[in-house]
Structure 1
Amino acid sequence: MSVVRTLPQQVNPNAPQGIHPKHVRQITGLAFMGVIAAWEEFLERTLIRYLAGAKTNTGYTATPKFGRANNLGHAYELLSQDPNYDPSKHYLKVSDARWVWRTADFFFSQHQYKLLQSKCDLLSNANLIRNRIAHDSDKCKAGFKSAAIWFLQPTNGNLTKGFSPGELLLSIATRNFGNPLNGAGVSHFEAYMRTYEDLAKGIVP
C-alpha cells in the first residue's frame, strides 16, 4: 500500500497525471479484503494440516488429544463434524477467531491458536470492515460504524458523513493494537498487516 500512497493524487479529472484520493481508499479496501481472505485460508489450511500430523520446517506440530486424522479429507470431516463434508461446497468457521482457538482446544492438548484469544476483538472488527467493503447492506454499514467508533473513539460518538473503510484503514492507529504500534504513526492497515504477520509466525513457528 505504500506504493499506492506515494502516487501523485489529484481531484481534477483534467489534470495530466495522478490518482483520485477516493480511488486510493478503494484500492486500500480491496487490498484489505484480499488480506482477510488469505488470513482465513491460512487458518483453515494450518488447522487441517496440524490435525493430519503436519510439521513446520522447524519440526513443530500441535499435540493431539485423541490421535491424528488419517488424511486431509478426514481432518475436514472431524473439524466440521460432518462425515459428508465437501471443501468445494462447505466452509469451516475460520472467520470466527473464537471458533478457531476453541476448536483447537478440543482437538489439541498443545497448540499455538491460543494466540488468537487476545486478538479476538481486533479480528472480529477486521471482519466488520471487510464486510462493509464487500456489501452495502444496512447491517454491514452498522457493523462498520461500530468498528470505526471502536478504533477512533470520536468525541461525539459519530463519524463524518460518508466515512469509508478506506479512510479508516488509512488513518493512524492510536489504540487497540497495543505497543509499539499504538502511537507509532502507522495506519490501521499497516497495523493490521503487522498483527496478521506476527500471528502467522506464532501459529507456524
Structure 2
Amino acid sequence: MAGRPPEVDHVKKTFFKEIQAAEDLVAKILQFKGGINPVGTVGIHPKHVRQVVELAFMGVVASWEEFLEMALVRYVAGAKTGTGYRPTPKFGRATSIEHAYQVLSNNPKFNPRKDYLKVTDPNWVTSQADFLFSAHGFGNVKIKGPLLGHASSIRNRVAHSSEKCRADFKATAIHFLMPATGALKQGYGPGDLLVTPVSRHFGQPAIQSQSTHFSAFAELYKSLADTIVP
C-alpha cells in the first residue's frame, strides 16, 4: 500500500531562498566593482569582485538543477502543492521517492548518492515529464532550453578551463553580446558577462530595466519554478 505522497512546496521555497542569497551577495560585492583601495587598507580588486559573482552564479545553477530534480521526483511519487496542484499522471504514481528515482532513471538499482538524473539536459527533463504526465508544468523548460544551455556554458567555464569549456563560453558570450568585431576582448570571462546589462534574448522588460545577465538568469529560473510548482 502506498504511503502518504511527499510534499513539494518546500522545494521551491528553498530554491528561492538560495537565489535571494546569491542576489544579495552579488549586490553587495558589486558595490566594489570599481575597486577599493584606500590608503592603509587592503583593496578589493575588480577581478576578485567578478570571481565572487561567478561563484554566486554557479550556486544558482546548481540550486536550479537540484530544484528540477527534487520537484520532478516528488511529482512522480504523487506530490501536490498546498493549493492542490499536481501533474496528471498517465500511469499512476511511484510508491516512494526511491521508487520515483528508479522510474526516472529506468534503473531498479538507482542510488541517489552515486547515480545521477540528467536534469542538466532540458530536453531530458521535458521528455520524461511528457512520458509520465498528460499535463504538467515542465514545458517551458524545453522552450527556454537554449537559454538554460547558455547558463550551463557559463557555469562550466567558471568550473573548468578546458578548451571545450572555453569555446562554449566564447560562443555564449558572443551570442548575447553580438560584438561588432565578432570577437571578445582578451581575457573576457564569465564574471564580465554576468555583470553586463542584457541587450537581447531576455525580453524588453529586462533590457529596459538594464538587468544584468546574472539578474536576468535569476528571474528566468524563478519564472520557470513558478510554472513547475505553482
Normalising by structure 2, we get a TM-score of 0.85
Q: Helix, strand or coil: the match of 1:182? A: helix
Aligned 8 A contact 1:8 1:18 in 2:
no
Tell me what 2:151 maps to: 126
Which of 210, 216, 229 lines up with 1:191 in the alignment?
216
Where do residues 136-175 of structure 1 align in structure 2 (5 Å cutoff)? Answer: 136-175=161-200
Tell me what 1:98 maps to: 123
Aligned 8 A contact 1:5 1:24 in 2:
yes
Normalising by structure 1, we get a TM-score of 0.96
Q: Equivalents in 1 of 2:58, 2:135: separation in Å? A: 31
Q: Helix, strand or coil: the match of 1:109? A: strand
1:36 aligns with 2:61: yes
Question: In structure 2, do the counterparts of structure 1 residues 81 and 159 end up closer, same or farther at CA, with 3 Å as the change threshold?
Answer: same
Tell me what 2:138 maps to: 113
Which of 26, 32, 50 lines up with 2:51 in the alignment?
26
Q: Equivalents in 2 of 1:77, 1:47: separation in Å? A: 13
Deviation at 1:158, TM superposition (A): 0.5
Where do residues 82-97 of structure 1 align in structure 2 (5 Å cutoff)? Answer: 82-97=107-122
Q: Equivalents in 2 of 1:93, 1:32: separation in Å? A: 20
**Can you list the C-alpha shifts for 1:166-188, whole angstroms capped at 9, x where unaligned?**
00000010111123112321100
Question: In structure 2, do the counterparts of structure 1 residues 8 and 75 end up closer, same or farther at CA, with 3 Å as the change threshold?
Answer: closer
Number of aligned pairs?
205
Which of 80, 87, 99 lines up with 1:74 in the alignment?
99
Q: Equivalents in 1 of 2:150, 2:143: separation in Å? A: 13
Q: Helix, strand or coil: the match of 2:144? A: helix
1:181 aligns with 2:206: yes
Matched letter for residue 124 of structure 2? W
Deviation at 1:14, TM superposition (A): 6.3
RMSD of the alignment, in Å? 1.5
Deviation at 1:201, TM superposition (A): 1.2
Q: Equivalents in 2 of 1:101, 1:8: separation in Å? A: 39
Q: Equivalents in 1 of 2:207, 2:215: separation in Å? A: 11
Q: Which deviates more from structure 2 when the two are superposed, residues 17-26 or residues 187-196?
A: 17-26
What are the ranges of 5 or more consecutive residues in structure 1 without an aligned counterpart?
none
Q: Percent identity?
A: 51
Deviation at 1:118, TM superposition (A): 1.9
Q: Equivalents in 1 of 2:58, 2:51: separation in Å? A: 11
Deviation at 1:17, TM superposition (A): 4.9
